[in-house]
Chains A and B, each alone.
Chain A
């Protein structure tokens, strides 16, 4: 990678100040996405701002009907958290299958969601649960957060601090992994709860998206069979050497069906 200056602020305010002063600086927490990109010299930050010293971005707590998870929370912490398992078991189960053990031991919620890789897991959970993204500046509903491939509503000097997950009645996640990278080929996070019935699809398209027809079908009848008949339009789906757009569109239905089945 290209060389850069490393710095480690201890507050959200200090961290965002650094980014405001230098738009070519980058935040790092777990580094499981940023470092591979830097190693391939796809990015040339002047400064890498290590967030892991910021206490206010940590912790998992339940606030009434909401689970608040700090951005620095590692996947392994979500996977094993009794609080998460009790409130949103599907979220813990999803976290348990992100990347591999070593990724889960370093990678964080905030890093994954800020990066918005179309083939990442967390964006599906955030969108599929209708969560709210808490930043250093404001609160952003999930529906307004994910704007496109690797693009979010975050401004350059805006830092994702925590995510508020409304606790659903039911939720489930299923995915098929790319055989090489093990990222998501197609996945579906479904939920029924305070945010209504939601179906978020990841992996298949350029950005995580809600599948309205499936949501409508589930509103009629919450069952795997209800979504089994809903076909995803292949137009706009990703196609590559690992699967055509048509294949991914097909997988969307299969994964949605499995997700509903796992939600019970």
Chain B
């Protein structure tokens, strides 16, 4: 059986796979990192979004075999090892940007990439457009947009904390 060696959340893994194994299957079924979800089969919902080498991708539309040597970050690897939440995670909590939590990991990973790519700052409309690859059925996106707007201020050092951004 073929193997792939990749780093996930800073830890190296060598995993036996089939040719057809998807990255999301490797994460969920082989590594039991079940924070990355599968919500559709047409690459639209974004519940499976992870980062490969710092860029957001849909793990359901990525072959595991093509991740040889890649550095993958999942929602489980976003907070600091001491448990301190990433500002985006903190903002989602502060702004009630999640309800059932199923789309949340992918939404957070997409949002982190979106904000990182736009140090100049994003308007509300730009945030909405930037979320085109992620579906949420619970929140109506209103609070997700607010959370990302607050998180970008902290991620780009314009404010100290999410609580400060919230005021």
Chains A, B in direct contact (C-beta < 8 Å): yes
Q: Hey, which bits of chain A sit against chain B, CB under 8 A?
A: 1-6, 8, 28, 31-32, 35-36, 38-40, 48, 50, 52, 76, 99-103, 105-106, 181-182
Q: Is B130 an interface residue (CB 8 A)?
A: yes
Partner of B110, one of A1, A2, A101: A101
For window 40-91 of B, CB contacts with A under 8 Å fall at 41-44, 46, 49, 55-58, 60-63, 65-66, 68
Which residues of B have CB within 8 Å of A1?
Answer: 20
Which residues of A have CB within 8 Å of B66?
Answer: 8, 28, 31, 50, 52
For this complex, 8 residue pairs linking A to B, each with C-beta atoms less than 8 Å apart, are: A3-B20, A35-B22, A35-B62, A101-B113, A101-B114, A101-B132, A102-B61, A102-B133
Say whether A28 contacts B63, CB under 8 Å: yes
Q: Once the chains are docked, how many angstroms separate the CA of A11 from the CA of B114?
A: 34
Q: Once the chains are docked, how many angstroms separate the CA of A52 from the CA of B134?
A: 26
Say whether A48 contacts B63, CB under 8 Å: yes
Which residues of A have CB within 8 Å of B44?
Answer: 181-182
Q: Is B2 an interface residue (CB 8 A)?
A: yes
Q: Once the chains are docked, how many angstroms separate the CA of A105 from the CA of B134?
A: 14
Shortest 8 CB-CB contacts between residues of A and residues of B: A100-B133, A6-B19, A6-B65, A100-B132, A105-B55, A4-B19, A102-B58, A102-B133
Q: Once the chains are docked, how many angstroms separate the CA of A76 from the CA of B110?
A: 15
Which residues of B have CB within 8 Å of A35?
Answer: 22, 43, 61-63
Say whether B57 contacts A106, CB under 8 Å: yes
Q: Once the chains are docked, how many angstroms separate the CA of A28 from the CA of B61?
A: 12
Query: Which residue of A has the minimal Cβ distance to B66?
Result: A50
Say whether B56 contacts A105, CB under 8 Å: yes
Query: Which residue of B has the minimal Cβ distance to A29?
Result: B66
Q: Is B18 an interface residue (CB 8 A)?
A: yes
- Flag B1-17 by CB within 8 Å of A: 1 or 0 each: 01000000000000000
B interface, size bucket: 20 to 34
Say whether A99 contacts B61, CB under 8 Å: no
Give the one of A38, A52, A101 with max B CB within 10 A: A101
Give 4 A-B pairs besides A35-B63, A38-B20, A48-B19 with Cβ atoms closer than 8 angstroms: A31-B62, A35-B22, A36-B43, A105-B113
Q: Once the chains are docked, how many angstroms separate the CA of A6 from the CA of B65?
A: 7
Q: Once the chains are docked, how many angstroms separate the CA of A99 from the CA of B18?
A: 28
Q: Once the chains are docked, how many angstroms separate the CA of A39 from the CA of B56?
A: 20
Which residues of B have CB within 8 Å of A48?
Answer: 19, 63
Which residues of A have CB within 8 Å of B130?
Answer: 101
Query: Which residue of B has the minimal Cβ distance to A99?
Result: B133
Partner of B133, one of A3, A4, A6, A103: A103
Say whether B20 contacts A50, CB under 8 Å: no
Say whether A3 contacts B58, CB under 8 Å: no
- Flag B125-143 by CB within 8 Å of A: 1 or 0 each: 0000010111000000000
Say whether A103 contacts B20, CB under 8 Å: no
Q: Once the chains are docked, how many angstroms separate the CA of A182 from the CA of B132?
A: 9
B145–chain A nearest beta-carbon distance, Å: 15
Query: Which residue of A has the minimal Cβ distance to B42?
Result: A36
Say whether B43 contacts A103, CB under 8 Å: yes
Q: Once the chains are docked, how many angstroms separate the CA of A118 from the CA of B89?
A: 39
Which residues of A have CB within 8 Å of B22?
Answer: 35
Say whether A50 contacts B65, CB under 8 Å: yes
Give the one of B44, B61, B68, B134 with max A CB within 10 A: B61
Partner of B61, one of A8, A36, A182: A36
Knowing A4-B20, A36-B43, say if A102 contacts B57 (CB, 8 Å): yes
For window 103-156 of B, CB contacts with A under 8 Å fall at 110, 113-114, 130, 132-134
B107–chain A nearest beta-carbon distance, Å: 12
Which residues of A have CB within 8 Å of B113?
Answer: 101, 105
Q: Once the chains are docked, how many angstroms separate the CA of A182 from the CA of B45?
A: 12
